[in-house]
Chains A and B, each alone.
Chain A
Amino acid sequence: MTTKKSVLVALGLLVAALTLVAAGCGGGGGGGAPEALPSSSCTAIDYGGDGDPDYILASDLPLQGSSRVQNTQIVAAIKYALQQANYKAGDYNIGYQSCDDATAQAGSWDSGKCSANANAYAGNSGVIGVIGTFNSGCAAIEIPVLNQASDGAIPMLSPANTYVCLTAAAPSCDSTEPDKYYPSGDRNYLRVVANDAYQGSADAEFAQSLGIKSVYILNDKQAYGLGVATNFRDAAQSLGIKISGFAAWDSKATSYTSLMDKIKQTGTDAVFIGGLTDENGGQLIKDKVAVLGPNNGAVKLLAPDGFTQQSTITEAGSASADMYSSVAGQPLNEFKGAAKVFIDGLRSGPLSGATIDPYAIYGGQAAQVFLDAIAASDGSRSDVISKLFASDVKNGLLGSFTFNADGDPVASAVASNGGSVAATVAITVYKAGSTFQPVKTIAPKPTTVNAALGK
Chain B
Amino acid sequence: MDATATSVLRIMRSPKVVNGLGVGFVAVIVLWLFVNFVKDPTYFINIGLDGLTRGSIYGVIALGYTLVYGILQLINFAHGDVFALSGLVASTVMLSILGLTAASSNAAVVGGVLLTLAITLPLFAIANGTIERIAYRPLRNAPRLAPLITAVGMSFIIFNLSLALYGVEYRSGSELIPQGTAFSIGQVEFSWKLMIALAIIVPALIVLSWFVRSTRQGKAMRAVAQDTEASAMMGINVNRTISVTFFLAGSLAAVAGLVYFLEYQVRFDSGFQLGLIAFTAAVLGGIGNLPGAVLGATLIGLIQSFNEGLTWYAPGSDWTRSIVFGILIATLVFRPEGLLGERTPEGA
Contact = CB atoms under 8 A, between A and B. Distances in A.
Contact of B318 (A65, A248, A314): A248
B168 interface: yes
Interface stretch (B5-13, B63-71, B82-90, B309-317): B309-317
Given A65-B168, A253-B320, A283-B265, A258 B309 contact: yes
Contact of B273 (A64, A248, A252): A252
Contacts of A290: 179-180
B23 to A, nearest CB: 28
A66 B311 CA distance: 33
Contacts of B46: 261
Nearest to B58: A254
Given A252-B273, A315-B172, A259 B309 contact: yes
A250 B311 contact: no
A175 to B, nearest CB: 22
Interface in B19-34: none
A255 B311 CA distance: 18
A451 to B, nearest CB: 26
Interface in B302-331: 304-306, 308-311, 314, 316-318, 320-321
Contacts of B267: 107
Contacts of A257: 50, 53, 191, 193, 305, 309
Interface in A242-301: 247-250, 252-259, 261-262, 265, 280, 282-283, 286, 289-290
Contacts of A261: 43, 46-47, 50, 309
A199 interface: no
A318 interface: yes
B274 A254 contact: yes
Contacts of B180: 290
The size bracket of the interface on A is 20 to 34
B269 A107 contact: yes
A254 B46 CA distance: 17
A249 B43 CA distance: 21
Interface in A293-330: 311, 314-315, 317-318
A114 B43 CA distance: 45
30 contacts: A66-B168, A66-B169, A107-B168, A107-B269, A221-B318, A247-B316, A247-B317, A247-B318, A250-B317, A250-B320, A254-B273, A254-B274, A255-B50, A255-B54, A258-B305, A258-B306, A258-B309, A259-B308, A259-B317, A261-B46, A262-B314, A282-B265, A283-B264, A286-B172, A289-B179, A290-B179, A290-B180, A315-B170, A315-B265, A317-B175
B174 interface: yes
A318 B163 contact: no
Given A105-B269, A249-B317, A255-B50, A265 B311 contact: yes
A307 to B, nearest CB: 14
A258 B175 contact: no
Contacts of B50: 255, 257-258, 261
A223 to B, nearest CB: 16
A247 B316 CA distance: 8
Given A261-B50, A315-B265, A253 B175 contact: no
Contacts of B159: 105
Nearest to B311: A265
Nearest to B316: A247
Contacts, number: 98
A252 B175 CA distance: 21
A250 B318 contact: yes
B264 A104 contact: no
Contact of A311 (B169, B172, B179): B169
A169 to B, nearest CB: 26
Contacts of A311: 169
B102 interface: yes
B311 A262 contact: yes
Contacts of B311: 262, 265
Interface string B277-311: 00000000000000000000000000011101111
B51 interface: yes
Nearest to B175: A317
A290 B193 CA distance: 11
A318 B102 CA distance: 9
Interface in B180-203: 180, 191, 193
Contact of B317 (A248, A314, A318): A248
B264 A254 contact: yes
A254 B179 contact: no
A317 B309 contact: no
Given A254-B57, A254-B264, A255-B264, A64 B320 contact: no
Contacts of A265: 43, 311
Contacts of A254: 54, 57, 260, 264, 273-274, 304
A197 to B, nearest CB: 25
Contact of A248 (B174, B265, B316): B316
Nearest to B46: A261
B175 A318 contact: yes
Nearest to B301: A254
Contacts of B317: 247-250, 253, 259
Contacts of A262: 308-311, 314
Contacts of B273: 252, 254
Given A255-B264, A257-B50, A261-B46, A286 B174 contact: yes
Contacts of A221: 318
Contacts of A255: 50, 53-54, 264
Contacts of A107: 168, 267, 269
